[in-house]
Amino acid sequence: MEKPSFPPECNRREFFRWAAGGLGVLQGEIPGNGPEILDTHLHLWSSGWGARFLGFRREPSPPWLRGAPERLRHNFGLQEYREAVRGFSVRALYMEVDVAEKDLDLEMASVRRVSEGSGGQVLGAVLGGRPDAPGFAEWVRRCREWQGTKGVRRVLHSGTTPRGLCVEPAFVEGVRQLGRAGLTFDVCIRPGELGDAVRLAKACPDTVLVLDHCGNGDAKAFQKKPVDQPAHTASEWQRGIEQLARCRNVVCKISGVIESLPKGWAAEDLAPVVNHCLDAFGPDRVVFGTNWPVCLVGGTARAWIHALGEIVASRPEAVRKKLWSGNARQIYRMS
């Protein structure tokens, strides 16, 4: 079979021909074809009993999993991830999974073991942490004992996180410490609170903030007849993204878009959110993430990679390479 380029500079029909070729890739006929992908947002968890998280008797099973959609209440280990991205050339960074505070150290130890046993596929991690907690500086010091620690996240979008938490003085000071330690901070925030992210970015100019999931932009806001009410208006979210993009220490993670749509979406449904972020942040401040396995509520990692490939097909190859892996390599200082 002729080796298709990925993603192709092509019209729609050519895209589908390429996608059909891609099926061959997925079945392993053309292993290693396609761009090098650095997935900056890989979750792994165990849903319950067993030593799936590499031999630990207790596992960092996130408490929110009990109330999560059935699709997510399973074991998602490295083996399952490899299956999900089979045929693509993918390396990844583990993204914390919002474990209970008492399990943060366990998560760190577990993911370190996963990474060290992954044959170079899991390059490191963005660990769960509490920037506003007393003793955070000491905790950061311990995190850095493992070279794979690239950054920290404390989710700001979950139901239990109070609005405005990330602009409280203690939190801001913790995020500044991360910058001093050469670590990033991932901002996963409700789309109506992007203004808080702007304030945090301005207060921490020496810390790189990575905005998760396109600022949790809801692709339904751009549909003519969405089935459900979108989480925000198109213009409200667009303005927030533009303000954040003006902060030079903020990077936008292109991820999480399919999760906002019901099944049956097409690449063109995702394009307004993706393109607005790519245009606002420019070619050097965007990174790619699958958000696997959370993405499964909207579609497979494979479907997301293909759809994003279609959306960016008309952009120059050098720009696409930066998005798929080049920028992440630089930002997280990986070879």
Residues binding Zn ion: what is the number (CB under 5 A)? 2
CA distance readout (Å), 60 to 29, 51, 298? 37, 11, 25
Residue 98: CB minimum distance to Zn ion, A = 9
Q: How far apart are CA 99 and CA 49, in angstroms?
A: 16
Residue 28: CB minimum distance to Zn ion, A = 28
Nearer to Zn ion, 73 or 315 (CB): 73
Map residues 275-304 to x or -, x wherever contact with Zn ion holds by CB under 5 A.
----------------x--x----------
- Report the first-to-last Cα separation within the chain, whole angstroms: 32
Provide the sign of the torsion angle of the four alpha carbons 155, 161, 164, 168, taken in this order. Answer: negative
Nearer to Zn ion, 213 or 276 (CB): 213
Map residues 243-282 to x or -, x wherever contact with Zn ion holds by CB under 5 A.
----------------------------------------
Report the number of secondary-structure helices (H) and strands (E) in the chain.
Answer: 12, 8
Pairing of strands 122-128, 184-187: unpaired
Residue 95: CB minimum distance to Zn ion, A = 6
Q: How far apart are CA 25 and CA 201, in angstroms?
A: 41
Identity of residue 200: L
Residue 179: CB minimum distance to Zn ion, A = 22
Map residues 165-184 to x or -, x wherever contact with Zn ion holds by CB under 5 A.
--------------------
Nearer to Zn ion, 149 or 216 (CB): 216
In three-state secondary structure terms, 95 is: strand
Residue 89: CB minimum distance to Zn ion, A = 22
| DSSP assignment of 268-308 | HHHHHHHHHHHHHH-TTSEEE---BTGGGGT--HHHHHHHH
Q: Which residue is nearest to Zn ion, using beta carbons?
A: 291
Nearer to Zn ion, 110 or 291 (CB): 291
Nearer to Zn ion, 108 or 172 (CB): 108
Pairing of strands 209-211, 250-254: parallel
Nearer to Zn ion, 193 or 212 (CB): 212
Residue 12: CB minimum distance to Zn ion, A = 31
Residue 262: CB minimum distance to Zn ion, A = 19
Beta bridge partners of 149: 125
Nearer to Zn ion, 149 or 255 (CB): 255
In terms of residues, how long is the chain? 335
The yes or no reply on residue 118 touching Zn ion (CB under 5 A) is no
Nearer to Zn ion, 114 or 234 (CB): 114
Residue 153: CB minimum distance to Zn ion, A = 9
Among 270, 217, 269, smallest CA distance to 242 is for 217
Name the residues that contact Zn ion, by CB under 5 A.
291, 294
